[in-house]
Amino acid sequence: MIYDLIGILGVIMILIAYALVQLGKLHVKDLSYSLLNTFGAFLILISLLIDFNLPAFLMEFFWLIFSILGIYKYIQNKNTKEKNE
């Protein structure tokens, strides 16, 4: 039961990120977008440890990887901007 709740929280985080982008309240290059997706995917992966599903695991694994890449790019761009100022 607790793993279902963890997975549901992850889904809610990803859906909030998506909804905020669609409503124009958040941009996909914002750090918060990547953080919501990273933690959301991570929580879903935790829930999949109990009730494993390979397609869902692969989807969330790559969602997590791409979200971490977004965080890396955000930090890299921020550092570049600071150097140019």
Q: What is the pLDDT of residue 84?
A: 82
Cβ burial of 38 (10 Å; 0-12, 13-18, 19+) is: buried
> pLDDT tens across 59-80, in order?
999 999 999 999 999 999 998 8
DSSP letter (8 states) at residue 5: H
What's residue 7's pLDDT?
A: 97
What is this structure's pTM? 0.90
Q: Taking a C-beta distance cutoff of 8 angstroms, is the pair 36, 14 a contact?
A: yes
The mean pLDDT of 3-8, rounded to a whole number, is: 96
Integer-rounded Cα radius of gyration of the chain:
15
In tens, the pLDDT along 22-58 reads 999 999 999 999 999 999 999 999 999 999 999 999 9
Domain borders along the chain are 2-84
d(CA 54, CA 81) in angstroms, rounded, equals 40
Average pLDDT over residues 5-34: 97
